[in-house]
């Protein structure tokens, strides 16, 4: 198949790097977003998201004339859908007393509907948004067929999951293996041909529902594995064991690779995607459901640790170090650190948070400090919630001179307790009995 022009719906963390990569590889790309601010920002040559190398890539795609942006899709050889698929905040499902989250597919529905008037014979449509199993065949296909064209006969339809790591998106888009699932083998072949424009990793053809499952299985596996690490941390505290030492010893076994415990699981992928499996088959997902419960309840376990360190939290001044959902990123979405802060405040603690990757963040009900110094100066305890490199590198002797705190609670195994204790701190560690 010969693709000359493509239309990409959704210009966020996935859609914009994808659009600029296709454009810098010679295709004409129309990037579409319903957010007028995003379109205007791009039309002025700026970008609205932080991603290494993206500004340069978008600038060169725009200046070559290969990338244009618009509020509306238009006729093209292929359409890619990369719109958000969060869960509903205000609705839940229930199965045998278990509450579960429901995928909010409204953006996928409206993006698909927007393609219908422009769909022509021989076109290819690819859904990239992470979606519950069978979304491509049960949700997207019937909408596209309102055009009067038959999927798999008149046009090709695929699902292709995105597996890039924020911070390395542009490199991984090209180098990672890509799974392309078609509703027919011909659709998969067309999808593979499109991604061959720039993908240097293997391009692996399958059917659409398998491709959807692949993405959900990847993120669910990580969620379940983190849940067991968190449960090991709880068990270690009960049995007087240091979980970090125990994990590192267990991982010397050639076939064991236990992940690290922490304050919980956040972000917009791993803490969301397992729900897409629970929602579509609650009777088959006992383990996945309970792993979500363990990870979602981990901030409560941190709360107990802080109480162990400080006793009653009423009026206690605590500095929360880190609010991002993982180390060295500025993304605060679904962050368990934010949840910990809220739980501490409910117990009457006065919490100041310092997030070096997003100091200006406006987080609902959280007092954000303007600097590390102002965050720690009159604190009673320092609570390490995210393993940002700059937190790990803190010199405890220098910190001791800048803060009244003499208690540290380390939830991520970021600080050497002996060093901090030699600087006068009493250190409490998640997953370690004290």
Ligand X SMILES: NC(=O)c1ccc[n+]([C@@H]2O[C@H](COP(=O)([O-])OP(=O)(O)OC[C@H]3O[C@@H](n4cnc5c(N)ncnc54)[C@H](O)[C@@H]3O)[C@@H](O)[C@H]2O)c1
Min CB(79)–ligand X separation in Å: 11
Per annotation, catalytic residue among 28, 141, 215, 387: 215
Q: How far apart are CA 68 and CA 342, in angstroms?
A: 43
Q: Which of 137, 130, 82, 127 is nearest to 103 (CA)?
A: 130
* Nearest to ligand X of 141, 268 (CB atom): 268
Closest-CA residue to 9 (of 29, 32, 26, 38): 32
CB closer to ligand X out of 182 and 267:
267
Which tokens hold the place of 84? Answer: 């958000």
Number of neighbours of residue 262 by Cβ within 10 angstroms: 26
- CB neighbours of residue 116 within 10 Å: 15
Nearer to ligand X, 35 or 395 (CB): 35
Which SS3 state, helix, strand or coil, does residue 69 take?
strand
CA distance 311 to 346: 15
Considering only CA atoms, which of 159, 179, 268, 288 is closest in space to residue 225? 288
Closest separation in Å from C-beta 5 to ligand X: 17
Residues in contact with 310: Cβ distance below 8 Å, sequence separation at least 6, in sequence order = 316, 318, 380, 381, 407
Single out the residue of 111, 25, 126, 13 nearest to residue 80, CA to CA. Answer: 126
393 a catalytic residue: no
Residue 248's nearest CA partner among 237, 230, 260 is 260
Nearer to ligand X, 115 or 320 (CB): 115
Provide, rounded to whole angstroms, the least separation between the CB of residue 421 and ligand X.
Answer: 39
Any bridge partners for residue 95, and if so which? 98
Q: How far is the CB of 304 from ligand X (least distance, A)?
A: 32
Nearest approach, Cβ of residue 16 and ligand X (Å): 8
Q: How far apart are CA 201 and CA 217, in angstroms?
A: 20
Closest residue to ligand X: CB criterion: 12
- Minimal CA–CA distance to 61: which of 100, 115, 20? 20
* Contacts with ligand X, residue ranges (CB under 6 A): 9-15, 32-35, 38, 82-85, 107, 110-111, 128-130, 162, 164, 166, 268-269
Active site residue 215: yes
Chain centroid to CA 25: 27
| Catalytic residue selected from 269, 316, 326, 411 | 269
Shortest Å distance, C-beta 220 to ligand X: 13
Q: Which is nearer to ligand X, 38 or 140 (CB)?
A: 38
In the complex with ligand X, the residue whose CB is nearer, 211 or 369, is: 211
Provide the edge-to-edge strand list for the sheet that holds 317-321.
367-368, 350-354, 317-321, 381-384, 407-410, 426-429
Which residues carry out catalysis?
215, 269
């Amino acid at each position: 198949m010969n693709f000359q022009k493509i239309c990409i719906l959704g210009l966020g963390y996935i859609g914009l790097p994808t659009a600029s990569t296709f454009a810098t590889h010679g295709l004409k790309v129309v990037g579409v977003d319903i957010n007028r601010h995003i379109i205007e920002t791009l039309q002025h040559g700026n970008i609205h998201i932080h991603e290494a190398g993206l500004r340069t890539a978008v600038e060169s795609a725009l200046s070559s004339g290969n990338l244009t942006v618009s509020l509306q899709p238009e006729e093209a050889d292929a359409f890619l859908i990369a719109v958000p698929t969060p869960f509903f905040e205000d609705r839940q499902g229930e199965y045998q007393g278990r509450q579960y989250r429901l995928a909010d597919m409204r953006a996928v529905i409206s993006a698909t509907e927007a393609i219908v008037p422009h769909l022509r014979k021989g076109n290819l449509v690819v859904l990239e948004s992470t979606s519950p199993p069978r979304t491509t065949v049960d949700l997207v296909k019937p909408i596209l067929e309102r055009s009067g064209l038959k999927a798999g006969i008149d046009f090709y339809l695929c699902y292709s999951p995105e597996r890039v790591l924020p911070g390395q998106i542009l490199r991984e888009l090209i180098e990672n293996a890509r799974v392309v699932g078609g509703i027919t083998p011909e659709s998969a072949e067309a999808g593979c041909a499109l991604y061959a424009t720039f993908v240097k990793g293997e391009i692996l053809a399958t059917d659409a529902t398998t491709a959807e499952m692949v993405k959900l299985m990847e993120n669910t596996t990580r969620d379940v594995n983190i849940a067991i690490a968190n449960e090991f941390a709880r068990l270690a505290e009960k049995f007087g064991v240091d979980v970090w030492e125990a994990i590192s010893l267990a991982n010397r076994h050639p076939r064991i690779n236990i992940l690290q415990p922490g304050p919980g699981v956040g972000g917009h992928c791993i803490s969301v995607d397992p729900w897409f499996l629970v929602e579509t088959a609650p009777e088959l997902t006992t383990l996945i459901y309970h792993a979500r419960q363990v990870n979602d309840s981990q901030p409560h376990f941190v709360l107990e640790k802080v109480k162990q360190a400080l006793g009653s939290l009423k009026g206690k001044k605590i500095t929360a170090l880190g609010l991002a959902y993982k180390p060295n990123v500025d993304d605060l979405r679904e962050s368990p650190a934010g949840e910990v802060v809220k739980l501490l405040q409910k117990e009457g603690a006065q919490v100041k948070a310092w997030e070096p990757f997003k100091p200006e963040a406006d987080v609902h009900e959280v007092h954000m400090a303007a600097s590390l110094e102002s965050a720690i100066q009159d604190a009673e305890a320092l609570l390490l919630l995210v393993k940002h490199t700059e937190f790990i590198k803190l010199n405890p002797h220098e910190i001791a001179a800048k803060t009244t705190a003499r208690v540290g609670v380390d939830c991520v195994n970021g600080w050497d307790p002996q060093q901090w204790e030699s600087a006068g701190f009493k250190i409490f560690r998640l997953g370690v009995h004290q």
